[in-house]
């Protein structure tokens, strides 16, 4: 998203708060897929992810007058989404990484699809062993392209803690993937 998009969204928020409620649909259409993907990452179920998405946008709509524009609108929205998901997960006591969501590749040869699937399974196996706080930071950083500062705004973790979590997660993933490779190589 560009700085122009950020300014457009701030204007849009102002117009919605001023009474042009029908414009809220534009914000939803811009961010719905990203929020749904976050829901899939947390809940691994399309129905729960859809419910989560609706819940998030209801909260955003209700709290729109509180958006002060000190951060990007998307950062503010992701913070609401993150908190909503964490509250839902705390009830379930589980967190599944966004990376676990199956992504369909178009135009792939059967061989490249098989290689991609094997690589994906290895990464997913390694991700399962990461502590939850590491997986959340990795998801937001790598899969949602959020900066450390945005992740801080979303999770409340200090920037240095986020950097440390991402660094440690990458180290653990590297070690786990080497271990998985050695096990498969011996078969």
In CATH, the architecture of 106-187 is Orthogonal Bundle (1.10)
Both structure tokens of 29: 């259409």
Domains of the chain, by residue range, sit at 1-96, 106-187
Alpha helices by DSSP H, listed for 99-158, are 110-128, 132-138, 148-155
Is the confidence at residue 102, as pLDDT, over 70? no
Give phi and psi for 183, each to the nearest 5.
-65, -45
Q: How far apart are CA 129 and CA 148, in angstroms?
A: 23
Mark 115-152 as b/e (b = at least 16 C-beta within 10 Å). Answer: eeeeeeebbeebbeebeebbbbbbbbbebbebebebbb
In CATH, the architecture of 1-96 is Orthogonal Bundle (1.10)
pLDDT tens for 103-144 read 444 556 777 777 767 776 777 677 777 888 888 888 788 777
* 56 in Cβ contact with 35 (< 8 Å): yes
The dihedral over CA atoms of 74, 29, 49, 60, expressed in degrees to the nearest 10, equals 50
Q: How far apart are CA 56 and CA 51, in angstroms?
A: 9
pLDDT tens for 31-80 read 999 999 888 878 778 888 898 999 999 999 999 999 988 888 988 999 89
Q: How far apart are CA 177 and CA 41, in angstroms?
A: 21
183 vs 118, higher pLDDT: 118
């Amino acid at each position: 998203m560009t700085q122009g998009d950020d300014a457009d969204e701030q204007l849009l928020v102002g117009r919605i708060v001023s009474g042009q409620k029908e414009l809220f649909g534009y914000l939803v259409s811009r961010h719905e897929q990203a929020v749904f993907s976050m829901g899939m990452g947390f809940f691994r179920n399309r129905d729960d992810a859809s419910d989560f998405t609706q819940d998030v946008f209801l909260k955003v709509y209700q709290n729109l007058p509180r958006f002060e524009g000190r951060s990007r609108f998307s950062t503010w929205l992701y913070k609401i989404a993150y908190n909503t998901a964490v509250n839902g997960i705390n009830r379930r006591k589980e967190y599944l990484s966004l990376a676990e969501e199956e992504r369909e590749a178009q135009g792939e040869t059967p061989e490249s699809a098989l290689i991609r699937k094997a690589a994906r399974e290895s990464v997913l196996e390694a991700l399962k062993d990461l502590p939850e706080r590491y997986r959340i930071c990795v998801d937001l950083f790598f899969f949602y392209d959020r900066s450390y500062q945005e992740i801080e705004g979303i999770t409340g973790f200090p920037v240095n803690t986020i950097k440390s979590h991402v660094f440690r997660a990458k180290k653990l993933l590297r070690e786990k993937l080497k271990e998985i490779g050695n096990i498969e190589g011996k078969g």
